């Protein structure tokens, strides 16, 4: 297996508050790896640092064989690391098609971009039906689909998803999780941050449990799903 992402002893702080306190993990090409954990554990901070939006205090990030420390965010996207952020951040006044086009802003292969827009519509038919509609008029779940579709438009080697199921109905959530499985089957490597531990661990090859800035437990998705402490803390069992 090829290691696509290697994170070593990563530390990130906001002023004096250390939000990520020295975490290490890796993502193999073709895998789905999930970071789970309670509010404030440092999951979003980790993804934002990998994307180059936050500067780490210390630690190494190697992506596709190349160190990312000091590389600006737009270059990181160009290297093949895409981020679908928490809270979606779509452009509400632009149409769905325009939002998708913006996801390809670093590409200039017009025909390829058009093909990938069609692929996003195949993945999420509702987006195709509403393609001329302002993105701000979509439902929460549909906006989440658009955010995922937009992140895919850079043809990433690694797709990072920050809480794709947040605020969604059970049916919408199932649809999003099913799409993540489809993307994996198509060979997309995914780093998935989720509060919904059950859903995330069910489809992940590997998982890491974060608590207040540290990874406290790691294992295969199935191992963690059956781990007693995980079941108690994250799956609501006692
Ligand atoms: N811009 C910021 N300034 C100061 N502190 C911040 C900032 N952003 C996050 N933090 C703090 O860093 C810690 C980690 O936050 P982070 O958003 O990474 O957590 P998270 O695991 O994504 O949580 P959630 O599941 O609630 O999204 C929290 O204690 C949070 O309050
Ligand atoms: Mg978060």
For ligand 1, residues with CB inside 6 Å are 14, 17, 19, 37, 39-45, 86, 195
Distance CA(177)–CA(185), nearest Å, equals: 12
Closest C-alpha to ligand 1, atom 4: 14
Q: Rounded distance, CA 2 to CA 188, Å?
A: 13
Q: List per-block mean pLDDT (blocks of 10 residues) for the chain, which spans 238 residues.
A: 95 96 97 94 97 96 95 94 87 96 91 95 94 93 91 93 88 88 92 92 96 96 93 78
Give φ, ψ of 234 to 5 degrees. -120, -15
217 CA → ligand 1 middle, Å? 20
What is the rounded distance in angstroms from the CA atom of residue 58 to the CA atom of residue 8?
9
Nearest ligand to the C-alpha of residue 213? Answer: 1
State the Cα torsion 211-215-219-221 to the nearest 10°.
50
Distances (CA, A) of 68 to 28, 41, 57, 64, 213: 17, 23, 13, 10, 21
pLDDT at 238: 63
Which residue, judged by its Cα, is nearest atom 6 of ligand 1? 14
Residue nearest to atom 12 of ligand 1 (CA): 19
* CB of 213 closer than 8 Å to CB of 42: yes
Residue 14 alpha carbon to ligand 1 centre in Å: 9
Query: Which numbered atom of ligand 1 lies nearest the CA of 15?
Result: 4
Q: Which atom of ligand 1 lies at the shortest distance from residue 20's CA?
A: 14
Domain locations in the chain as residue ranges: 3-87+155-234
Ligand 1 atom with the smallest distance to the CA of 38 is 25
| Helices (runs of H) and strands (runs of E) counted in the chain | 10, 10
Mutation probe of ligand 1 site: the residue of 20, 35, 43, 196 with most atoms within 8 A of C-beta: 43
Comparing CA positions, the residue from 77, 73, 55, 54 lying closest to residue 64 is 77
167 by DSSP, 3-state: which?
A: coil
Superfamily of domain 3-87+155-234: P-loop containing nucleotide triphosphate hydrolases (3.40.50.300)
**162, 84 contact by CB (below 8 A):** yes
39 vs 55: CA distance, rounded Å: 21
């Amino acid at each position: 297996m090829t290691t696509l992402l290697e994170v070593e002893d990563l530390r990130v702080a906001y002023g004096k508050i250390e939000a990520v306190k020295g975490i290490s993990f890796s993502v193999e090409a073709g895998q789905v790896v999930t970071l789970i954990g309670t509010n404030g554990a440092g999951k979003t901070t980790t993804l934002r640092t990998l994307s180059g939006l936050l500067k780490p205090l210390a630690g190494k990030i190697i992506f596709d064989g190349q160190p990312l420390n000091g590389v600006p965010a737009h270059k990181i996207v160009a290297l093949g690391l895409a981020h679908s952020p928490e809270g979606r951040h779509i452009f509400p006044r632009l149409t769905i098609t325009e939002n998708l086009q913006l996801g390809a802003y670093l590409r200039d292969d017009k025909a390829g971009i058009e093909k990938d827009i069609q692929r996003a519509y195949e993945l999420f038919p509702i987006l195709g039906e509403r393609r001329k509609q302002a993105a701000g008029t979509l439902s929460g779940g549909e906006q989440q689909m658009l955010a995922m579709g937009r992140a895919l438009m850079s043809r990433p080697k690694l797709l990072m998803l920050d809480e794709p199921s947040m605020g969604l109905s059970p049916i919408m959530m199932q649809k999003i999780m099913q799409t993540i499985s489809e993307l994996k089957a198509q060979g997309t490597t995914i780093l998935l941050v989720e509060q919904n531990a059950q859903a995330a661990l069910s489809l992940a090859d590997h998982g890491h449990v974060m608590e207040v800035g540290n990874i406290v437990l790691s294992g295969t998705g199935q191992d963690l799903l059956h781990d007693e402490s995980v079941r108690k803390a994250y799956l609501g069992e006692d």
